[in-house]
Amino acid sequence: MGQVHILHADMDAFFSAVEQRENPDLQAKPVIVGGVNLSNRGVVSTASYEARKYGVHSAMPIAKAKKLCPNGIYLPARHKLYQAASAKIFSILKKYTPLVEKLSIDEAFLDVKGCEKLYGSAVEIAHKIKEEVKLKTNLTISIGVSVNKFLAKLASDYDKPNGLTVIKKEDIKKFMRNLNIDNIWGVGEVFAEKLAEADIYKASDLWSYSLEELKSNYGKAGVKLFFLARGKDKREVKKQNQIKSISHEETFIDNLKNQDKIFAYLFKMSEKVSFRLHSNSLKGITVFIKVRYADFSTYSRQKSLKVALNSSQQIYQIAKKLLLKNNLLTKSIRLLGIGVSNLCQEGQEQLNLFAQTDDQLDKTIDQLKRKYGFDKISRARKLYLDQDD
């Protein structure tokens, strides 16, 4: 019968909602939480719904957000706090089914097939989760319920915040008909432009094409599109979405040769990797780098350490050494990548004095940023970039 059994649960404007909960003065105000690195070069992590009215959204540069929303309240991220709320939310989700696939700190898929006898239908379970999350965390969550992951995710997004949307099998066609093409997984800006050339703007515009046509026009992506445009998705909810590594890479518009500039980028990228490790309460023992030159030749190098780390300073220092020691800075660089792998949960790693000292430094900088505002506190390395732009 194809009964709905997949849930996609997603907290509403999570980081800013936690900040608004912690400080009642912030309620109903445009609150913008930024990354660990909160200079004007940093990006927005979460914007409250009040801030979104000004056009502010996540991943937008802080500098741009401040132009759009000069009266916004800009706060540095407090990951310990969000992590604590997240742990509570996930313990609620796991009560209803063992099949919880964590997508991020505030988002998960659940498969509740077989749990109905204990907790009621999938829709009843969604109601119960919403109530319990509100009661125990004083935060709201949006849930989509459907027959597969793709539709459940579309459904959770449909009526945010505090939504509960169900897409039953018989509603799929109606729901997909007017869906814009860029809402389909895997369709980014570039692909959407390509599809627009063939007058394909909505999911239903794809219905007249055969699988073979889409495959020959767009390759593998075309095959995916054929099924997703009809609301079909066979991926199963996997119990633990184990993150293997966290990395960041950048392709430069002009190839880079200047060492100081390369190190400045490397530092910025280390901060991004560190931020994402912190957000997921992870540490790793292997730092790796990737370099691609103008002729597209590509080199990777890595170093494993005795102690797991997630501080931007340490990641940066090790990556810098890898570049220098392996003589990778002799030609101009087209792409630079940096990452950390061999991950473990924070708290499960071996502690040593060195790691603790460095964590403390990150914390102190965070505190200073909170106290004096993001713009004023920036490690010396970043000043190079700030002046350059």
Which residues participate in catalysis according to the annotation? 107
In the complex, the smallest distance separating the C-beta of residue 39 from Mg ion, rounded to whole angstroms, is 25
- Using the structure block, give the residue that is written with the tokens 């190839």: 255
Cite the DSSP H helix spans in the chain: 14-22, 49-52, 62-68, 79-96, 116-119, 122-137, 149-158, 172-177, 189-196, 211-218, 220-228, 259-279, 312-325, 353-372, 380-388
Query: Looking at beta carbons only, is 107 or 359 nearer to Mg ion?
Result: 107
Q: Which helix (H) or strand (E) holds 102?
A: strand 100-104
Tell me how far apart the alpha carbons of residues 383 and 380 are, in angstroms, rounded to a whole number. 5
3-state secondary structure of 312: helix
Tell me how far apart the alpha carbons of residues 302 and 239 are, in angstroms, rounded to a whole number. 30
In the complex, the smallest distance separating the C-beta of residue 34 from Mg ion, rounded to whole angstroms, is 16
Query: Looking at beta carbons only, is 14 or 374 nearer to Mg ion?
Result: 14
Strand-pair partners of 145: 7, 166
Indicate the annotated binding residues: 10, 106
In the complex, the smallest distance separating the C-beta of residue 15 from Mg ion, rounded to whole angstroms, is 9
| Residues lying near Mg ion in the complex (CB under 5 A) | 10-11, 14, 106
83 class by beta-carbon count within 10 Å (0-12 exposed, 13-18 middle, 19+ buried): middle
Query: Looking at beta carbons only, is 11 or 289 nearer to Mg ion?
Result: 11
Query: Looking at beta carbons only, is 100 or 338 nearer to Mg ion?
Result: 100
In the complex, the smallest distance separating the C-beta of residue 132 from Mg ion, rounded to whole angstroms, is 17
In the complex, the smallest distance separating the C-beta of residue 108 from Mg ion, rounded to whole angstroms, is 10
Q: What is the 3-state secondary structure (H, E, C) of 196-212?
A: HCCCCCEHHHHCCCCHH
Task: Give the distance from CA 255 to its chain's centroid.
Answer: 28
Sheet of 100-104, strand order: 100-104, 107-111, 6-11, 141-146, 164-166
Query: Looking at beta carbons only, is 88 or 379 nearer to Mg ion?
Result: 88
Q: Which helix (H) or strand (E) holds 144?
A: strand 141-146
Indicate the annotated binding residues for Mg(2+): 10, 106
